[in-house]
Amino acid sequence: MPVSLAPRPPRPLVEQLRRSQIYRDYEKAFRETTGLPLALRGKGNFNLPHHGDPNENPFCALMAGTNHTCASCLQQQQKVEDAAGASLKTLRCAVGLCDSAVPVRVGDDLVAFLQTGQILLRKPTAAQVRRLTGLLRRYGVETDLPRFAEAFGRSRVVSPKQYQSILQLLTIFAQHLGTLSNQLAVQEEAREAPAIGRARAYITEHHAEEMSLTQVATAVNMSAFYFCKSFRKATGLTFTDYVARVRVEKVKELLLNPNKRVSEAAYEAGFQSLSQFNRVFRRVAGEPPSAYRGKLG
């Protein structure tokens, strides 16, 4: 039976990514270099990702302030996520502002999005301003039209070529975050319950052996039922998923030795068959083990 490796729920993992040093360093550099907002948000989290961001578009900030206009922006966010499920997508809202989302994947699993934008790809035209005015009137902000129009005029204009380069940087970083996601998934969190920390340590120590959920629960003095619920809540992964990821990370470590055969690494890490190993490795790492070994040179 195929092993499901989808990290559910994804939010704990997304929070770990946000707190990671690599993300914080990249976020700071991205903001300072581009002047654009940047958000890392979990799948299905339909809020306004840039609201309150120091680099938020001033027009978008006003749009977020009233019920009708905010609802319109939220609908746009859902469209962006729906479009970006497979790859980078850029969508324009009704007034021509672009927002882009880059999926972050752990193997085949979509866990988050990197999002930026709120920019214009060319200076506003008279026709665009007329559309803006009509839209705002429909939303009932007639008395604030001058303020909205002035804020829209301060929107950042980025050339299509420059914007594509920015999005390429995000795409590369999303790939790094995908790799980091799997590493974080198997690292101990300092704030978690001591029993879960002991369970992680037990799994790491005994990864090469056959092990069951009941066996690990007994080792940390918990009932199997309570351990199952607690472990998934703490890690965002099922017990089976977590053990698989620990073993994949061990295989990656073993393959740093150029003399180590892939099959040897698989069995040393605790996989019981090559077919199981190949299937799990591809799902977790997003590529077959042979392709991963090839990248190591």
Render pLDDT for 199-248 as a digit per residue (tens, 0 to 9): 989 999 999 999 999 999 999 999 999 999 988 888 878 899 999 999 99
Q: Can you tell me the mean pLDDT for 40-48?
A: 75
Answer yes or no: is pLDDT of 188 > 80.
Answer: no
- Burial profile 121-149: b = 16 or more Cβ within 10 angstroms, e = fewer: beebeeeeeeebbebbeebebeeeeeebe
DSSP letter at 192 equals: S
What is the reported pTM?
0.62
Cis peptide before 9 (omega within 30 of 0): yes
**Which of the two residues, 265 and 65, has the higher pLDDT score?**
265
Render pLDDT for 101-125 as a digit per residue (tens, 0 to 9): 888 887 777 888 899 989 999 988 8
Residues 6+ apart with CB under 8 A from 226: 217
Residue ranges of domains in the chain, CATH in brackets: 11-185 (no CATH), 194-295 (1.10.10.60)
2 pLDDT tier (thresholds 50, 70, 90): very low
8 pLDDT tier (thresholds 50, 70, 90): very low
Best CA proximity match to 246, nearest among 195, 288, 199: 199
Render pLDDT for 124-147 as a digit per residue (tens, 0 to 9): 888 888 888 887 888 777 767 888
Render pLDDT for 241-284 as a digit per residue (tens, 0 to 9): 999 999 998 998 898 888 899 999 999 999 999 999 999 998 88
